[in-house]
Amino acid sequence: MKEVKITACQFRIEKVSSFAEFQNQVEELISQVPSDSDYVIFPELFTVGLLASFPDAEELTAADLIKIDEYTPQYKTFFSNLAKDRQQIIIAGSHLERREDKYYNIAYIFDKDGSFVEHKKTHIFPAEANWQTSEGDSLEVYSIGPAKIGLAVCYEAEIPEVSRILSINGAEIIFCPSFTFTKAGFWRVRHCAQARAIENQVYFVHCPTVGEPGSPLPNGYGRSSILSPCDNPWTPNGIVAESEINTHTIVTGTVDLDELYQNRKTGAATTFLDRTRRENLYTKYEPFKSMY
């Protein structure tokens, strides 16, 4: 068995007056995380409460969320030190960041030595256009920690090609920091996350931002989950672990990587291989010719 322990930190956003106040929120939540968790994940754009720290906060709108880029150096330093201090791999949600003349929704993975890699969200949800967000152009799989991992930030879970590319390139666990404003938005991502786990025979970790911070910040709705394929040896519903809805909390689960590979060979549904077994059929049709 090759077991991996995962903790999702379901972060309830609040308006904060300083980075120190945001830092206290993070530290309070991560203090509940088991010290032997191999991976710790925070949600998408959970730094948005920092918008309230600006002197003109009462006059700002959702379009001004890009101002939180000013906290990027503190954000990186804080999580780099946190990963080193705890000796844990931290997927530090995502943060709006300026690069030259563009803004990106960037997710970071911080390793135990404080180093990090980044993933620019490749498919922007329509509402993100309000934040002048540009799209990234890369989908990478990282050998960080005991598993091969990939990132699919929120709306990317709804794009099947993202997870397929990651899984074909070796991803065993796909981490999904998410921020959905409505129940419908949450269930879109959650149902797609479960589908991606089934069709690619991978583990999928969905971690949403929650809370009702008040205008101009958007509300967050959801519940964190660690998902598997719906097959033996897992639970019939494919839920390894899940949190309560909309609470400031953590959820921890353990998964076995060896079971994924065995399931791909002998499972009731061998979807990972069967999706490529009939490539000759798919490539008869547009636009699949260019995909295979």
pLDDT of residue 290: 62
Q: Which of 9, 154, 192, 207 is catalytic?
A: 154
3-state DSSP assignment of residue 33: coil
DSSP state of 285: S
Mean pLDDT confidence for 6-26: 98
Q: Give yes or no: 121 in active site.
A: yes
Residue, of 168 and 283, whose pLDDT is higher: 168
pLDDT of residue 272: 94
Secondary structure E strands in 113-172: 116-120, 133-134, 142-144, 147-151
Give residues with Cβ within 8 angstroms of 229, minimum separation 6.
Answer: 197, 198, 201, 202, 238, 260, 263, 267, 269, 271
Strands 39-42 and 147-151: unpaired
Q: Is 176 left (phi over 0), alpha (psi -120 to 50) or beta?
A: beta
CA 258 to CA 241: how far, in whole Å?
Answer: 19
Domain extent at residue 177: 3-290
| Token pair in block for residue 108 | 């970071």
Q: Give yes or no: 2 in active site.
A: no
CA 72 to CA 58: how far, in whole Å?
Answer: 22
Give residues with Cβ within 8 angstroms of 142, minimum separation 6.
Answer: 109, 117, 148, 149, 150
Q: Which of 121, 148, 172, 242 is catalytic?
A: 121
| Token pair in block for residue 275 | 């999706």
> In the chain, what are the helix, strand and coil shares in percent, each to the nearest 5?
35, 25, 35
Number of domains within the chain: 1
Q: With 60 as the cut, is the pLDDT of residue 292 above it?
A: no
pLDDT band at 127 (very low <50, low <70, confident <90, very high): confident
Q: Give yes or no: 120 in active site.
A: no
Mean pLDDT confidence for 162-168: 96
pTM (two decimals): 0.96
Strands 102-110 and 239-242: unpaired
Encode pLDDT of 168-220 as tens digits.
999 999 999 999 999 999 999 999 999 999 999 999 999 999 999 998 999 99
Backbone angles phi, psi at 233, to 5 degrees: -100, 15
Q: Which of 44, 97, 172, 259 is catalytic?
A: 44
Encode pLDDT of 80-92 as tens digits.
999 999 999 999 9
Buried-exposed string 115-127: b where 16+ CB fall within 10 A, e elsewhere:
ebebbbbbbbbee
pLDDT of residue 166: 97
Q: With 80 as the cut, is the pLDDT of residue 130 above it?
A: no
Residue, of 190 and 280, whose pLDDT is higher: 190
Angle at alpha carbon of residue 166, lines to 206 and 244, rounded to 5°: 5
Give residues with Cβ within 8 angstroms of 182, minimum separation 6.
Answer: 221
Q: Which of 20-29, 114-123, 170-179, 271-280 has the lowest mean pLDDT?
A: 271-280
CATH code for the domain of 148: 3.60.110.10
pLDDT band at 1 (very low <50, low <70, confident <90, very high): confident
DSSP state of 12: B
Could you tell me which residues are beta bridge partners of residue 96? 105
DSSP state of 51: G
Give residues with Cβ within 8 angstroms of 285, minimum separation 6.
Answer: none
Q: With 70 as the cut, is the pLDDT of residue 275 above it?
A: yes
Encode pLDDT of 90-116 as tens digits.
999 999 999 999 999 999 999 999 999
Could you tell me which residues are beta bridge partners of residue 102? 99
Q: With 80 as the cut, is the pLDDT of residue 286 above it?
A: no
Q: Which of 8-12, 147-151, 159-163, 283-287 has the lowest mean pLDDT?
A: 283-287
Residue, of 61 and 46, whose pLDDT is higher: 46
Q: With 70 as the cut, is the pLDDT of residue 289 above it?
A: no
